[in-house]
Structure 1
Amino acid sequence: MSANSRRVVVGVSGSPGSLQALRCAVEQARALGATLLPVIAWEPPGGDSPARPYPRYVTDEWADAAEARLLTAFDEGLGGPPTGIPTEPHIVRGRAGPVLVAFADRPGDLLVIGRGRPRLTLRAEHGPVARHCVTRATCPVITVPPAALAAYVGPLRRANPRPRWWAARG
């Protein structure tokens, strides 16, 4: 296997955990001399169902929104697209876990995913993406926790959802 065939696949959603995963994946791609494949998976609101076909112009809008989220993630996580490493971004319609496992299917691939705090509503409906990838991927998987600051933002936002000046307005 040549060095050029190595790939680092990273799941990107814009969450704090995925931004950390993106940073880690860039470091791994540089160290391995690999190609970086940032992948953002998207689904229509309420999920994909053959019983509910969506018009093409609507799905195109959702795909464009996913692409914008990917570009925003590059800006927020890295300050722009990475330089010095080959990068092949992918915007794919589908559930994140299966899409990422399908992309990281070659020998020598490395899958990097963010690991966020579990949310009961999402777990009941979809299951955590990290668990899906770790149990089904055929390549090594690195799970990256969100930055320490992200652990403080959630509780603060729930404890005080509005700024103090808002309550003073009456």
Structure 2
Amino acid sequence: MRLQLVVLALAGLLGGPALAAERYDDPKALVSAIYAEYQPGAHASAPNSFYSQRLQALYEQAVENNVFADDAAVNGEAFVATQIFNPFMPDVSALLFDLSIGEPTISGDRAMVNVSYHNFDQLRLLSIAAVREADGWKVDDVAAMGSDEHWLLSWALTYDPLGF
């Protein structure tokens, strides 16, 4: 019985990201799928399940380098994956409204999609760079463009000594 519970738990953990690994034939469909997961009653996948091969490699290197270390890690407590920064919804809690996903600007196998939304009373402006890979469009970078928050995900994963 105990073994069955462990197998079911592992299947649930492995199945979550696998469900998000769908093929998206255009960049707007990709971004729409990402934000559909932040609507009431939806279950959000791990953000990196939408990443390109390049961004996934940067993410894995950041995990290996403990970029996501926080006060808990400094105090010797265990790292908790749920504490990893989510570039699509960088706030701890979410009440998303006024979501606007712009039309993508496409140049060959690269695209840019602008996203704006309010989380509670905070306006968020993001630009999501996408790249077409063999299995469809994937997120290749995310930039925050708001008035009080500016960051580029790939830079932060590579060079930010303080992490998120």
TM-score by length of 2: 0.23
Greater RCO, CA 8 A, separation 6+: 1
From the CA coordinates, give the structure whose radius of gyration is larger.
1
TM-score by length of 1: 0.23
